[in-house]
Amino acid sequence: MTEHVLVLNAGSSSLKFCVYGRLRHGPWRAEARGQVEGIGTAPRFKARAADGKVLAEQTLDASVRDARAALDALAAWLRTAYAGARVLGVGHRVVHGGSRHAGPAVVTPALLEELRGLTPLAPLHQPHNLAAIDALTERMPGVPQVACFDTSFHRGQPVVAELVPLPREIRSAGVQRYGFHGLSYEYIASVLPQVAPEIAGGRVIVAHLGSGASLCALRAGRSVDSSFGFTALDGLCMGTRPGAIDPGVVLYLFQTLGMTAGQVEALLYKKSGLLGISGLSNDMRDLLKSTDAAAKLAVDFFVYRAAKEIGALTAVLGGLDALVFTAGIGENSPEVRARISTASAWLGIDLDTGANRAGGPCISRPGSKVSAWVIPTNEELMIARHTSSLLGLD
């Protein structure tokens, strides 16, 4: 009999899901994936099989306005598509796990209360992640749930990498560098021994480049530093987030421009980055196609910041053996990969333009001092593995 694990990634306007199945004690394989999108505006349900075949695509009633209603729509489809199947557990992507959690955790009322306290540190993600857990608890109370944190993989970094240089009483209130995109980095680290064994034990920088973008420095598969810090606003330029900016800019927004806390939050999370620079789009594909000068500037800045941060993390590692590109832009944009690799050529990256256009996996020439790679990430599979392991399904 086939066993199933459901993976959920809840956002403000979408509920993404993946159904994993296996024969008893076999490997987990994705059977279906999709999302409820346009929640609260024009909701639609989409589902595809692992081979890309469309399983369902329909417009939903406008009453689908929150995570609970979206979960109801998903549950209705699952009852039809997987009639008689048993869900053994549900794994959730939860952006922030704080400093205590170095791994996933089974959901309990006490854990939920702790995670709600971290909402100010991830205001765009945490409330929606937890709303999906609440909704599933109500509708499927007998199904165990697991919270998988984007911060966990970075726990265990050197003290200096986590330190925010403020007074101790401030730091003791939880102000430190946490790092994010950990599920993606953990997956890449887990497959390096198979995909690129020659670099798996070395000094590797992984570039998770998408609407959210960051870098992680790995030594022997473990995180030693990341471009993200206290929140997911730090580091690289992103789709709508600025990345690292002078804290004095935030003071100026409050003290001189008279902006409110809500206005500043909206500016930093939703109106900056590629969108703010270009005034056109937060989508790299749109910007690369555009002939507008502001669009070109946005792309130039994205590349500049990535190359600059790669240099900084190389210093942290004491040298570099490989650069790995992943996520939406990293996996799908040969132009951005080429520009970042060219800007980082001083490190010893000798890009193979043909291999780069083809998508790799290795996109550097033989003999390149620092190799470059394209490795697709799979955060959902990482969550399925954690859920299975923590619930004793392995």
Residue numbers annotated as active site: 150
In angstroms, the CA 174 to CA 119 distance is 13
In angstroms, the CA 123 to CA 339 distance is 33
Alpha-carbon distances, residue 118 vs 82, 151, 208, 233 (angstroms) = 35, 12, 23, 15
In angstroms, the CA 228 to CA 316 distance is 15
Instruction: Please say whether the beta carbons of 338 and 385 come within 8 A.
Output: no
Instruction: Please say whether the beta carbons of 204 and 324 come within 8 A.
Output: yes
Sheet containing 213-219: which strands, arranged edge to edge?
222-226, 213-219, 203-209, 322-326, 371-374
